[in-house]
Structures are given as structure tokens and as C-alpha cells.
Amino acid sequence: MADTQHIFMRFSAKTSEWAGKPVTFVLALILVILWAVTGPFFDYSETWQLVINTGTTIITFLMVFVLQNAQTRDTRAIQAKLDELILTSHAENRFIGIENLDEDDLKHLDRLVAKAAKGGQAEKQAAADAAPKSTKTATAVRKKIDAARSQKDKRKTAPRKAPQKS
């Protein structure tokens, strides 16, 4: 099963990469033009129309799953990178894991962050306090944050200034 998932992951990554290229669009456009040009030869029959309708429907149906797989993996990778940036910066670590909140909580948090962006320490604290506290995910995230904080203290950091060349 894991091998099948790996194969599908590689297939979806290559397919979505290929589907996003300009040459793919040009090929699809040429195919549609060729289909349209053949209309008079087939007297614009129902079968002629069915060919393009069926073909495009099947391709669209399959591409939804392929592209969703690629997008989900990309989103997870970006989220992991953002979490790492939060952990290694002076940003509020409570924001890690907020992607698991429901829509209403995210809207509320977004409003608080917007107020905090306009200034005022009280609003910033309110936004930080609004980060997930009651969800099961938030508890697990906080444990990971605490572990990451202890690891962060142990990390070696690069000097702030490059050494002067003699």
C-alpha cells in the first residue's frame, strides 16, 4: 500500500508539473481546434460532439484528484516551513497549528491579528491569547512547541556579523 501511495505521489507531482506548462495548454488548444475542424466531415453529429464532451469530462475528473494530491503535499510542506520559521524567530509560537481551527475561529483570529498589526500591545496580546488553547490539536502542538523551544536553546547559531578578513 505504501509503495502504491509513493507511486501515485510521484505520478501526481509529475502530472501536475506537466499540466501547468504552456506547451500542455497549446497541445490542448490544438486538439480542440482539430476537433472543431473535423465537424463538417462528421456533419456535426452527436457522436462527434460526444467525443469531445466525454474526453474532456474524463480528463477533468481524473485531474481533480491528481492536482489535489499535489496541492495537499505542497501545502503541508509550506506549513512545515512556516512552523519552522515561527519556532526560530521572535514570532508568537502559539500560532503553530492554527490551520486545524474551524472557520469561525480562524476569522476571529484574523480580525485580532489585523488589529494587532495596526499597533497596540494589548491587541497583540489578545491575538496571541486567541491562538488555539482548547482543542486537542492545540495541546499536542503546545507540547511540540515546548520541546522545540528546548531544542532551540540547544541549537548553534551563526554569528551576527561575518568575521573581518585580514
pLDDT tens digits for range 26-72: 999 999 999 999 999 999 999 999 999 999 999 999 999 999 998 88
For residues 28 and 21, give the distance between their C-alpha atoms in angstroms, rounded to a whole number: 11
pLDDT category at 2 given cuts 50, 70, 90 is: confident
Kindly report the pTM of this predicted structure.
0.55
CB atoms within 10 A of CB 76: 11
Inter-residue contact 4 to 10 (CB < 8 Å): no
